């Protein structure tokens, strides 16, 4: 018997997610795929694939610095190169490098290369991944950055610089 699909096309109790499975979305030039939703883990965590497009982000410093008071985030670089900001330190990440960002730590990233950077990102606890689907840019009425930030601030104690 097939597993029913939950909100946003996510299979709530999926234990094997094939390539192309999960929920794909776009966020401007970047794109992602929710591999494990917080719906699957009772809110404990979520796992997302994230591809950062080539070129620098549009913020003045290019990093998009922010912090989440209620979330620990991890990043595993699968391919490409990324400049990663943690507090005031910038580290260049390459394939296989891993970053753990505890709650409350200022962080951000940018891709200044000509190639995309492919990451696996986790959120503990989960739930933040749903904002990427809610405010995705590849829908009939694209999401609004200000609304994304308002939801992140209200629901995940996030701040954006």
What burial class does residue 119 get, using C-beta atoms within 10 Å of its C-beta: 0-12 exposed, 13-18 middle, 19+ buried?
Answer: buried
Residue 95's pLDDT is 97
Quote the radius of gyration of the chain (alpha carbons, Å).
15
Dihedral Cα 4, 8, 9, 12, nearest 10 deg: -50
In the structure encoding, which two tokens stand for residue 68, read together? 């989440």
Domain that holds residue 90: 19-145
Any domain includes 102: yes
Report the relative pairing of strands 82-86 and 89-93 from DSSP bridges.
antiparallel
What is the CATH classification number for the domain harbouring 26?
Answer: 2.60.120.10
pLDDT at 123: 97
Tell whether 63 is covered by a domain.
yes
Q: Report which of 68, 85, 13 is spatially closest to residue 2, judged by C-alpha positions.
A: 13
Q: Tokens 């290019």 correspond to what residue?
A: 62
Structure-token pair, residue 78: 């699968």
Q: In which residue are the tokens 């003045």 written?
A: 60
In a domain, 153, yes or no: no
Read off the pLDDT of each residue in 9-20 and give the average, rounded to a whole number: 70
Q: Is residue 158 part of a domain?
A: no
Q: Is residue 9 part of a domain?
A: no
Mean local confidence (pLDDT), 11-26: 79
Q: Structurally, how many domains does the chain consist of?
A: 1
Q: Evaluate whether residue 160 is within a structural domain.
A: no
Residue 127, pLDDT score: 93
Percentage of the chain modeled with pLDDT above 90: 57
Long-range contacts of 141-144 (CB under 8 A, 24+ apart): none
Lowest mean pLDDT among 5-9, 37-41, 49-53, 145-149: 5-9
How high is the mean pLDDT of the chain? 86
The per-residue pLDDT for 99 is: 97
φ, ψ dihedrals at 31, nearest 5°: -145, 160
- The verdict on residue 50 lying in a domain is yes
The answer on pLDDT for 10 being more than 90 is no
Q: Which tens digit of pLDDT belongs to each residue from 50-73?
A: 999 998 555 546 778 899 999 999
- Could you tell me the pTM of the whole model? 0.86
7 part of a folded domain: no
When pLDDT is averaged across residues 103-123 and rounded to a whole number, the result is: 94
Predicted confidence band at 2 (pLDDT cuts at 50, 70, 90)? very low
- List the one residue out of 20, 161, 152 whose CA is nearest residue 73: 152
């Amino acid at each position: 018997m097939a597993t029913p699909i939950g909100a946003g096309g996510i299979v709530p109790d999926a234990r094997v997610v094939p390539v192309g499975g999960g929920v794909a979305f776009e966020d401007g030039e970047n794109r992602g795929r929710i591999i494990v939703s917080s719906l699957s883990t009772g809110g404990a965590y979520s796992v997302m694939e994230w591809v950062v497009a080539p070129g620098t982000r549009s913020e003045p410093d290019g990093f998009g610095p922010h912090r989440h008071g209620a979330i620990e985030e991890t990043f595993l670089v699968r391919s490409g190169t990324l400049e990663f900001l943690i507090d005031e330190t910038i580290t260049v990440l390459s394939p296989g490098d891993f970053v753990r960002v505890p709650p409350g730590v200022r962080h951000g990233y940018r891709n200044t290369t000509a190639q995309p950077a492919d990451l696996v990102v986790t959120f503990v606890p989960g739930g933040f991944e749903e904002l990427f689907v809610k405010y995705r840019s590849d829908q009939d009425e694209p999401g609004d950055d200000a609304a994304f930030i308002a939801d992140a601030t209200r629901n995940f104690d996030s701040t954006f610089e």
